[in-house]
Chain A
Amino acid sequence: MNDAVLLWSYLAQEPLLWLTTTLVAYTISDWAAGKAGRHALANPVLMAVILIALVLWVTSTPYATYFEGAQFVHFMLGPATVALALPLYDNLPKVKAALVPMIAALFAGSLTAIITALGIAKAMGITGETLMSLAPKSATAPVALGVSEAIGGQPTLTAVLVILTGISGAIIATPMLNALKITDWRARGFAVGVAAHGIATAHAFRINSTAGAFSGIGMGLNAVLTALLAPLIARLFL
């Protein structure tokens, strides 16, 4: 008994345990998503997050301890973002042909994301710091945090809103775009990348490689546009 406690207190502090937990939780979630026929609601990221949160809650492990182990997975986001250059390069002829639709869709999506988020939240009585934290929610996390700070938001709250935007975008996109009978993978991928950054891009790659490539471009371009537009638009909602 005592040995088990000692073993646990050792393992609970080691990166190995939480790194393994992260991979196992994701493997289970991905398997479950497959069993559910890749239904939109059976999102593997969401399921893995809930599963791990339960384990942390049951073992009363603080997030900081968990992240000691999980940081190795988190770290790979950087090289994975750089790796998006390859599908972009592979799809070069398609990208060149779609330059005008992409730029138009980028402005439409980026403006809609910022204005409707601020408008709806303000109509529901949200103001000040909390409202400002919502403005850059569709941009990829590092950009959104920087923008939030610059316009008087709360970066921690923005981080939460950004992740939730990604997960909701990944869940909403497929049923909504199927209902609208949009079959152009370029348009579908690009739109989810603009509106719901990397998490939607990850989702797009699972469905179609062209959609994934265009989603990556949408994410990259909206990172830049949100940084430029959000501070200007946010002023109108102060």
Chain B
Amino acid sequence: MTSAAQPRIWIAFRAEIGTDPHMIRAISILLLFQLAGESLSRGLDLFVPGPVIGLAALFIALLIFPKLAEVIRVAANGLLAHLSLLFVPAGVGVIAHLGTFGTNGIGLIVALIVSTALAILAAVLTFVLFARLMGQRHE
């Protein structure tokens, strides 16, 4: 590579990664909070999973250091935009384990679907009722 060519390649490279200059820092921050969460969860034998503790810790960190939000924004939104994809490997595992249903398959599926629908209904109606009682008009 000639020295004259270098800047141009460098500029092209910068343009390529230019969409998120904080990418590596952002991923490091997310992983550090997950690591802290996992350590707390296992170390103190808590029933709350590590990533959920990491979520709470990062939320508190954001309240204290608002600038952190802009560092993680692109990476965090990128991950959340493709959250569905991340469930695919575990979903494939379901097919591999359908045998665990045994003879109770239909009963389990009916209970699961009806109960999930009722839980959504109960939660959404309660939310709307309390919001109205508090005189909130939603946007």
Q: Which residues in A have some Cβ–Cβ distance to B below 8 Å?
A: 22-23, 25-26, 30, 44-46, 48-50, 52-53, 56, 63, 66-67, 70-71, 73-74, 76-90, 97-98, 100-102, 104-113, 116-117, 120-121, 124-126, 130, 134, 137-138, 140-143, 146-147, 154, 156-157, 159-161, 163-169, 172-173, 176-177, 180, 182-188, 190-192, 194-196, 198-199, 201-203, 205-206, 212, 216, 218, 220, 223-224, 227
Contact = CB atoms under 8 A, between A and B. Distances in A.
A85 B75 CA distance: 13
Contact of A70 (B27, B89, B122): B89
Given A169-B120, A172-B120, A67 B93 contact: yes
A98 B56 CA distance: 18
Given A80-B86, A146-B47, 15 more contacts: A46-B91, A49-B88, A66-B92, A78-B34, A79-B31, A83-B72, A121-B107, A126-B111, A137-B116, A177-B124, A184-B127, A194-B123, A220-B52, A223-B52, A224-B52
Nearest to A67: B89
Contacts of B54: 78, 81-82
6 contacts: A25-B88, A46-B91, A105-B122, A105-B126, A124-B110, A134-B111
B119 A97 contact: no
Interface residues of B, number: 78
B24 interface: no
Given A48-B91, A184-B138, A143 B47 contact: yes
B126 A108 contact: yes
A116 B114 contact: yes
Nearest to A214: B127
B88 A52 contact: yes
B48 A143 contact: yes
B94 to A, nearest CB: 5
Given A112-B123, A160-B98, A172-B113, A104 B130 contact: yes
Nearest to B124: A191
Contacts, number: 323
A71 B56 CA distance: 25
Contact of B95 (A53, A85, A89, A98): A53
A81 B52 contact: yes
A16 to B, nearest CB: 15
The 4 closest A-B pairs by CB, nearest first: A109-B123, A202-B83, A70-B89, A191-B123
Contacts of B48: 143, 223-224, 227
Contact of B124 (A56, A63, A105, A157): A105
A106 B114 CA distance: 18
Contacts of A159: 90, 93-94, 97
Contacts of B108: 121, 126, 130, 134, 161
Nearest to B30: A79
Contacts of A90: 69
Given A121-B111, A187-B128, A49 B120 contact: no
